[in-house]
Chain A
């Protein structure tokens, strides 16, 4: 199993550009989440999904969209990037009440 994979590993955007961060898991987990990690703030939940076709907002959802068309994939979209979205983004998945598995992260810089 590859676990949780994320692409790209690094990305630089200009203000106003859009992009999609990809996340996939091969463990058949129903729960998937996106977090951002900023210095001194730990990880904060952006959006999550409890299964295909079901998504909801987390603690810091503004500026981000998600969809969940399959169990495996959970992309995160930035429609109009802002410098405040410079961060490291982590995708995670888990089965029910089990352990949460994290991807390796995407380091995003918005100029």
Chain B
């Protein structure tokens, strides 16, 4: 079975500090991995994705994630948090052509 675990349901950082949101997956096949962001009362927006090739993936809004096969991880980072980054973040793995499995989400709070 394929699944996604996000460590920490809530993360709080100060404005300008490093953002690190953790995601581990289990997969029996090479995974397609995604990070989505959800702002209050909105749908999900794609931040970045890993399919094949370069393991360091750059996304929108200054976020990036690194696929580490040996650690089965796909952690999301941003060097310097902005107030506008406050949202909920979801890691997901595509388990076949028709289905994606999502983590439980991590709510990011940015303190001034």
Contact = CB atoms under 8 A, between A and B. Distances in A.
Interface residues of B, number: 21
A75 interface: no
A90 to B, nearest CB: 6
Interface in A31-56: 31, 33, 35, 40-45, 48, 50, 56
Most buried by A among B4, B44, B46, B102: B44
Interface of B: 4, 9, 41-46, 49, 51, 90, 92, 97-105
Interface string A3-38: 010000000000000000000000000010101000
Most buried by A among B43, B90, B105: B43
A45 B100 contact: yes
A48 B100 CA distance: 11
A105 to B, nearest CB: 6
Contacts of B99: 45, 48, 58-59
A48 B44 contact: no
B79 to A, nearest CB: 25
A45 B4 CA distance: 14
A105 B49 CA distance: 22
B43 A102 contact: yes
A43 B102 contact: yes
Nearest to B44: A102
Contacts of A103: 43
8 contacts: A42-B4, A42-B90, A42-B103, A90-B43, A99-B49, A102-B43, A104-B42, A104-B43
